[in-house]
Structure 1
Amino acid sequence: MLTLSPPESRTPWTAMAIAAGAGLAAALLILWIVGDGMVAAGFAAVALLVGGGVVAARSLPSRTTPQAPAIDWSLMRMLADASADAVAVTDRAGRLVCANSAYEAMFAGLPTPPNLPLDDAAIARLGNVGRAAWRDGAAAGSGLAHGGQTLDVAITRAGGDRIVWRFAPVRDGERPVVDLAAMVAGEAGERLGAAGVMVVAMSPEGRIAGANRVFRQRAMGAADAPVEGSDFARFLHSDARGLLRFDREGNVGTPLRLVQLPQAVGEAQLLVALLDEEDAGLPATIGSNVAAHVRALVSLLPFGLALVDRDGRFAHMNDAFARAAGIDAARPPLYPGDLVVREDKGALADAVRRFSGGAAQSADIQVRLAARPDEPLAIALASARGLGDAAVILSLRESGEEGQLKQQVMQATKMQAVGQLAGGVAHDFNNILTAIIGHCDLMLMRHSPGDSDYDDIQQIRANSNRAASLTRQLLAFSRQQTLRPQTLQLPDVVSEVSALLTRLLGETVRLDVRHGRGLGPVRADPGQLEQVVVNLAVNARDAMLATNPKGGGTLTIETFAVSAQQVRRMADEVLPVGDYSALRISDTGAGIAPDVLPKIFEPFFTTKEVGKGTGLGLSTVYGIVKQSGGYIFAESPAGEGAVFTIYLPVHHAVPELAAAKPAPRPEKRGDTWGSGTILLVEDEAMVRAVAERALTRQGYKVLTAENGEAALELLEAGERPDLLVSDVVMPLMDGPTMVAKARERYPDLPILFMSGYAEEQLRRSIDLDHVAFLPKPFSVQQLAEAARAVLDDS
């Protein structure tokens, strides 16, 4: 902290000594000139009297100039630190006298504003704003780039001779306003200025956020004059005839035409003032005779704008609007409804009709463009008044990379939601299959081979097992299946499955396998990874044979290493930077259509004929890869076949934490008979009935409960069971919660959990001592073996 001290004042005795010396010198001079001692003595006496009067006057207390109170700079520093913004105070000489901690952290070394670590243009702008604050008492600026963030500055003159500088980072919600202000003050504003157009970006309250040089020159008299933060209305005035002019030019200035274009850019609005020097008698509102000026203005704007007339037809659109809509600007459509899909034509036409009749200022409507039907976007509509034949303004932003990233996020979200749905369907389906398979097993116990019903029951059981494999595919897609990961090399997996692929592909399809060097190990389930390769290879074979039934084609399987530097150069928004081992499978077929490519990983989506595909192959591939921590990308270059690339992260060996003891896997025993009491808890009545009959036939006494609360009541009222068999997911009280309460009464009670969800998904909730797991669907024999194994191990 730096403060200035006033110069030291002279004492009264010093003043008296000076007066006495001056009088003595005057007396000696008179004595030398006149030669009269009496006259010289008189001069000396007068000098002494004057000196005494000065001493007396200086000794009296001053009543006219009271001393200014001293400033407590420590208190000022404490108050400044209470602000989250960077605050600094400078004096009249431009010296830094106080700064808070936020200022010190933002600008290292405590530099004195405006000489801050900014670029030359920003320092010049900051100096202009500071001079405006010294002159007007307050001023503001925005768009100062520093340290990767954008700053707003507010400058206030305080105490008459001190300046308070406040710097605040722009928040995310305010960034659209700053971006718009920078665009207006930058190249876009220069282009408009070259055409004689003054452009101003302002907030809805009328505060200027940015302006081009032409406006600054006309409004302030200098092209670099600061106008940010000022009220736009104070620069204009209207005369008795209603003509709009700049206030500084008075009534002799050229009348202005004002066009207000509301933009859906945060809360900012774009206000464009057109200057027409040809006819000073025109009203301030633009009429049909200046439609050419409006079209020229719209064509110059860097964002997508289109004008629609009162009949609902396009009157004009700029190139940015055509690019964003995916149409040819040279051959634009006739109506706005021609831009969107059929389902959205009516809504857009109604909105255009409502705004052409003078509806509210602006609004947004969600539509899907015919050029990109899978990407919903918002079209901003505003009622246009005084723009000649134009009645409605349409605004459309070009998506570019932002739209592609948004589409990827939407696709990932959709896949996650479908995965959760698939997992729930698989759970419910497994309960049904458990009942079907269990009843088949019970019926087979009463029928022997050769009976008339035996073959039918076996057929039902076989079909049920086939349905069970479909549920496993659903669980794979939803990333809820049980994986047995191992550390392995991708070339080894491809080698293991190459012989099978040769038989699957047939004689007309050639297999080309290429292995790269330096591949790192990956952590995955080898069986599931082989299923990925087989599914992709079979799909590629079918695609090539559909294109060329006789000639077939070539299936290429490649493995290669991808370093973190290569991933960084790829600049992919989805793939994190890291080391990967990659597997690429490509074919020479016709490829995948662009409208089909975003849907290929969705379950039950297939382009094959009815009966030739379930639509779960690629869904399973996607689920296995994602559950293994990898990433899969599908491409279809023009004129080439489909390309699938899988990136699996390189596994680095680290000391593993002590893993939870896996649930004991039931061993097949010849004798599954037993004795004792089993408490069976299952909310599905059909599964509970099958399990009760199966365990009763094995010699156990079975107590049943339909939920966790009923099971706890049986434990309170009855004797201790030898085994508790329970479903995991149940309403009201789930299995793990019920088991925890039962263990409070019987700490060593053995538990057998069963569920239609995968064990890996439930591992955290069922990670208890003396707990085994039996996945659904299961047969009567599997239930009996699991119960006997748990009882034997306990």
Structure 2
Amino acid sequence: MSAPRRARSPRGGEGLVLALALALSLIVVWLATREALAVAAYGAGLMTLAAAIWVMTRQNASTQEAETALPDWSVTVAAIDRGDAAMAITDRAGRLVCANALYERWFGVGQAPPRLSVDNASLERLAKAGRAGWRDGHGVADLIENAQGQWSVAVTRAGRGDDYLVWTISAITGSDLVAELVPHLDGKLGRALSQSGLSAAIVDPDGKIRMASAGFAQRATGESAAMLTGQDFTALLRQDEHDRVTWAREGQRGAPLTMYYLPIADPDAAVEPDFNVTPSLILLADNGTGLGGGSGDGMAAVPHLEALIGPLPLGLAMVDRDGRLLFANNAFLRAVGRENEALPTYPTDLVVQEDKGPLSDAIRRFAQGPASSGDIAVRLKGMAEEPVSLSVAGVRGLGEAAVLLGLTDSTEETRLKRQVAQATKMQAVGQLAGGVAHDFNNVLTAILGTCDLMLLRHTPGDSDYDDIQQIRANSNRAASLTRQLLAFSRQQTLRPEVLQLPDVVSDVSHLLKRLIGEKIKLVVTHDRDLGAVRADPSQLEQVIVNLVVNGRDAIQSRGESGGKLTIATRKFSSADVRATRGGIMPQVDYTALVVEDTGIGIAADHIGKIFEPFFTTKEPGKGGQMGGTGLGLSTVYGIVKQSGGFIFADSEPGRGTRFTVYLPVHHASGDAAALPAPKAEAELTWSGGGRILLVEDEDMVRAVAERALTRAGYTVTVAADGDEGLEIVEGGAEFDLIVSDVVMPVMDGPTMAREVRKLRPDLPVLFMSGYAEEQLRNQIDIAGGVHFLPKPFSVQQIGDKVGAVLAAAQG
């Protein structure tokens, strides 16, 4: 407050100068007049004038100080007192400085933006808009919502020192476009259309007229005041043998009409309009008649056409005979990526250089020829990799407007096509991976079985013993790779349970700390009130470990000491799905697992391939247990998909990567029966031998299995396929057990087993396969006495399994 006080009192130097000037002027008057009375009068006049000036200066200074001391917020309150939007002003400390009545009614005065009573996703969008407001001067939150409603928010930075944010909150409400259009057709717009030669009517999908302009009624009935609501639209028109449409009232002498059909749909609707229930605006014009009321000034009707076509969800633009764009609606500008830019002079300015000539020729041809339409494939600037189909139609009777361009915003469609293509590719790769794993398991079964048989003849200390053990160890490592392939192809056996994600993270956290080391900081956070999920806990642990190892390697690749790995569980409601990934994921509640690192990130050309098997950017020997084979993320993908979830990767090179796993919340049904636990094999031992029918089409696997069972004391009969095995049983041979492969040429294992059961209903069957047991049980559909042995297996495993099955069969 010291500065204002100094401003009210004159400085010492200025007062001395004024005093000297006054004394000098008095001396001059004395010397000129030599009269004391004149000097006194002159001095008194100067003092009076000085006193008046001083008083006025003090009053002005006081007024200015009062005006600048404290802002008059009553003026601001009056300025923001709007009935259509809630207004609030906050300072840099986040305090609510001022708000209008509508804001108080919606949110109360106890809350200041961005901290409002809305859901978590809305709070994040509000905070982001506020940060953008302070940083850029403006910010937007397209959607915030709670149980009371939905709003959109615009934020603007204001004040002399940019110390305030102005929040404008507008309610999002649905609008009835038909109801909004009806009074316009019944008013000035309808009369303007009639003067321009256009008859307008709103027609329901069933063909009944909902509203018609006075010009339409005049042409259709001869009376402008005629009520046409509920009448059949087509009954007022006639069509001759040349497909020309005229007014039925005018008969054959009537002029041919051009009909324009414009569906009335909300362009901001979240779903595509259903044209089976959407009314339409139909415009009828006499062929060859301009829109200027006969004057030839066709541009007079362009604003009206723009008002009619502007709200439509279809991308439409009008071009004159010289190829210049007259106007384009918002949907058209959105489709070409020019929504916030000025309208170009020519439509050829919207396409790449190579397509300018063909588009210009097409517009010229349709503008000068008869009224017709067609499509042309063009590539838009900024989206040259995705050709789009542009509809071109020559129109008549619209004055300067000679060509109608139609373009649908295909951004969402293109994105969905890419996702479908990626999903299809992943499914095809998964089927291939499953087939490779199955065939590879046959080879590994033969190798492991042969190693076991050789180890029976070699003891520790023999020269060949260590070599055989090395072969066996490498074969087991190869078997683990096939299990990863089966996980990716979603053909592994899962044991799902209802569980909480934070519990799984807690169980594996001690292992994660050892995996990432001491230099990398591990941060774990959990949301409250998370929904339970149904998944295999051991497989979920593998998902977490693989993602964490991937993040650790990305951090270490930066070559810097330290880094941070974040594991978080988040609540993700169906509303959040609708606002973000509504086109990909079903709109249900999810519990999300987020694993984020501060590593080197993933290049844009690699982000779409990271879940493919054997795709890796790591050097051999790195990448944890998978050793840089590229199966870590593909395994994660398969486990998540087989659990009914979704996984997404978001990355920016140099700034880290975030993997988000969405698992649907499990809602237990009150009357649903608990899933039966899988029955354990009988723990009885079997030592009485038995007769075994071994059916296997792979010679290597069949030879190993036959030798293993023979050494175990069983009498083994072999068959190379299902037909041969069935013939042996039909020949009268008796067996205690059938050991069969599942996938075989001609007749597979399950088909053979069903035929055998017709002859021997109680004969047990042991299936061998490289596919998942759960998948096979769903496909085999054989009641009772069916057992499963996964490939690859060892000599001891097949012997023990056969003994356990025979013991269970004998009780």
TM-score by length of 1: 0.59
Count of residues in correspondence between the two structures: 598
Confirm whether residue 624 of structure 1 aligns to residue 639 of structure 2.
yes
Quick one: distance in 1 between partners of 2:358 and 2:456?
Answer: 65
The 1:741–1:361 alpha-carbon spacing in structure 2 relative to 1, beyond 3 Å, is farther
Deviation per residue, 1:78-108 (Å, 9 max, x gap) = xxxxxxxxxxxxxxxxxxxxxxxxxxxxxxx
**Cα-Cα RMSD:** 5.8
Confirm whether residue 750 of structure 1 aligns to residue 761 of structure 2.
no
The Cα shift of 1:689 comes to 3.7
Quick one: distance in 2 between partners of 1:269 and 1:417?
Answer: 44
1:730 alignment partner, SS class: coil
The Cα shift of 1:760 comes to 1.0
**Aligned pair partner of 1:659 in 644, 663, 676:** 676
Confirm whether residue 771 of structure 1 aligns to residue 793 of structure 2.
no
Within-5 A mapping of 1:447-596: 458-519=469-530, 521-546=532-557, 548-559=558-569, 572=582, 581-589=591-599
Q: Is the 8 Å Cα contact of residues 509 and 553 (structure 1) preserved in structure 2? A: yes
Structure-1 residue corresponding to 2:693: 679
The 1:466–1:232 alpha-carbon spacing in structure 2 relative to 1, beyond 3 Å, is farther
Deviation per residue, 1:716-757 (Å, 9 max, x gap) = 114212321012233444323322332333333232111121
The one-letter amino acid paired with 2:597 is: D
Confirm whether residue 647 of structure 1 aligns to residue 654 of structure 2.
no
Quick one: distance in 1 between partners of 2:550 and 2:190?
Answer: 59
Query: Which consecutive unaligned segments of at least 5 residues does structure 2 have?
Result: 1-175, 264-272, 623-627
Quick one: distance in 1 between partners of 2:641 and 2:731?
Answer: 48
Within-5 A mapping of 1:258-337: 258=258, 272-273=283-284, 276=290, 280=294, 297=305, 300-301=309-310, 302=312, 303-305=314-316, 318-327=329-338, 330=342
Confirm whether residue 431 of structure 1 aligns to residue 442 of structure 2.
yes
Q: Is the 8 Å Cα contact of residues 257 and 276 (structure 1) preserved in structure 2? A: no
* Residue range with higher mean Cα deviation, 707-716 or 646-655: 646-655
Structure-2 residue corresponding to 1:114: none
Structure-2 residue corresponding to 1:379: 389
* Residue range with higher mean Cα deviation, 210-219 or 746-755: 210-219
Deviation per residue, 1:537-593 (Å, 9 max, x gap) = 1223334444x4315432222235567898899895666676655433233456666
Quick one: distance in 2 between partners of 1:559 and 1:200?
Answer: 57
Structure-2 residue corresponding to 1:219: 219
* Residue range with higher mean Cα deviation, 716-725 or 647-656: 647-656
The Cα shift of 1:257 comes to 8.8
1:763 alignment partner, SS class: helix
The 1:521–1:236 alpha-carbon spacing in structure 2 relative to 1, beyond 3 Å, is closer
Q: Is the 8 Å Cα contact of residues 200 and 213 (structure 2) preserved in structure 1? A: no
The 1:702–1:250 alpha-carbon spacing in structure 2 relative to 1, beyond 3 Å, is closer
* Residue range with higher mean Cα deviation, 625-634 or 549-558: 625-634
The 1:260–1:314 alpha-carbon spacing in structure 2 relative to 1, beyond 3 Å, is same
Deviation per residue, 1:425-462 (Å, 9 max, x gap) = 43333334334444444555566667776666555544
The one-letter amino acid paired with 2:679 is: P
The one-letter amino acid paired with 2:786 is: V
Identity of aligned residues (%): 52
2:508 alignment partner, SS class: helix
The one-letter amino acid paired with 2:482 is: T
Q: Is the 8 Å Cα contact of residues 219 and 235 (structure 1) preserved in structure 2? A: no
The Cα shift of 1:608 comes to 5.2
Within-5 A mapping of 1:183-262: 196=193, 198=198, 213=213, 216=216, 219-220=219-220, 221-222=224-225, 225-226=228-229, 229-231=232-234, 234=237, 258=258
Quick one: distance in 1 between partners of 2:356 and 2:688?
Answer: 71
Quick one: distance in 2 between partners of 1:586 and 1:626?
Answer: 20
Structure-2 residue corresponding to 1:145: none
The 1:687–1:251 alpha-carbon spacing in structure 2 relative to 1, beyond 3 Å, is closer
The 1:236–1:577 alpha-carbon spacing in structure 2 relative to 1, beyond 3 Å, is closer
Q: Is the 8 Å Cα contact of residues 211 and 229 (structure 2) preserved in structure 1? A: no
Q: Is the 8 Å Cα contact of residues 395 and 402 (structure 2) preserved in structure 1? A: yes
The 1:625–1:252 alpha-carbon spacing in structure 2 relative to 1, beyond 3 Å, is closer
Quick one: distance in 1 between partners of 2:433 and 2:356?
Answer: 34
1:480 alignment partner, SS class: coil
Quick one: distance in 1 between partners of 2:183 and 2:419?
Answer: 32
Q: Is the 8 Å Cα contact of residues 201 and 271 (structure 1) preserved in structure 2? A: yes
2:237 alignment partner, SS class: helix
**Aligned pair partner of 2:753 in 732, 739, 754:** 739
Q: Is the 8 Å Cα contact of residues 327 and 343 (structure 2) preserved in structure 1? A: no
Q: Is the 8 Å Cα contact of residues 560 and 582 (structure 1) preserved in structure 2? A: yes
Deviation per residue, 1:228-286 (Å, 9 max, x gap) = 6323883899xxxxx99978899999x9994768999979998655663658497xxxx
The one-letter amino acid paired with 2:478 is: A
* Residue range with higher mean Cα deviation, 550-559 or 493-502: 550-559
The one-letter amino acid paired with 1:691 is: A
The one-letter amino acid paired with 1:752 is: L
The 1:189–1:506 alpha-carbon spacing in structure 2 relative to 1, beyond 3 Å, is farther
The 1:259–1:517 alpha-carbon spacing in structure 2 relative to 1, beyond 3 Å, is closer
The 1:245–1:259 alpha-carbon spacing in structure 2 relative to 1, beyond 3 Å, is closer
Quick one: distance in 1 between partners of 2:423 and 2:294?
Answer: 59
The Cα shift of 1:400 comes to 7.0
**Aligned pair partner of 1:726 in 740, 764, 786:** 740
The one-letter amino acid paired with 1:769 is: G
The Cα shift of 1:759 comes to 0.5
1:229 alignment partner, SS class: coil
Deviation per residue, 1:440-493 (Å, 9 max, x gap) = 445555666677766665555444433322322232233321123344443332
Quick one: distance in 2 between partners of 1:730 and 1:410?
Answer: 32
The one-letter amino acid paired with 1:623 is: G
The 1:710–1:271 alpha-carbon spacing in structure 2 relative to 1, beyond 3 Å, is same
**Aligned pair partner of 2:803 in 781, 784, 788:** 788
Quick one: distance in 2 between partners of 1:725 and 1:623?
Answer: 30
Deviation per residue, 1:509-530 (Å, 9 max, x gap) = 2101123444455443221111
Deviation per residue, 1:332-382 (Å, 9 max, x gap) = 69887985999x9999999999989989955668999786799x7962534
2:568 alignment partner, SS class: strand
Q: Is the 8 Å Cα contact of residues 359 and 383 (structure 1) preserved in structure 2? A: no
1:642 alignment partner, SS class: strand
Quick one: distance in 1 between partners of 2:364 and 2:474?
Answer: 59
Q: Is the 8 Å Cα contact of residues 351 and 378 (structure 2) preserved in structure 1? A: no
The 1:714–1:628 alpha-carbon spacing in structure 2 relative to 1, beyond 3 Å, is same
Query: Which consecutive unaligned segments of at least 5 residues does structure 1 have?
Result: 1-178, 238-242, 283-288
1:783 alignment partner, SS class: helix
* Residue range with higher mean Cα deviation, 759-768 or 605-614: 605-614
Quick one: distance in 2 between partners of 1:475 and 1:209?
Answer: 61
The Cα shift of 1:616 comes to 3.3
1:709 alignment partner, SS class: helix
Confirm whether residue 716 of structure 1 aligns to residue 730 of structure 2.
yes
2:445 alignment partner, SS class: helix
The 1:481–1:643 alpha-carbon spacing in structure 2 relative to 1, beyond 3 Å, is closer
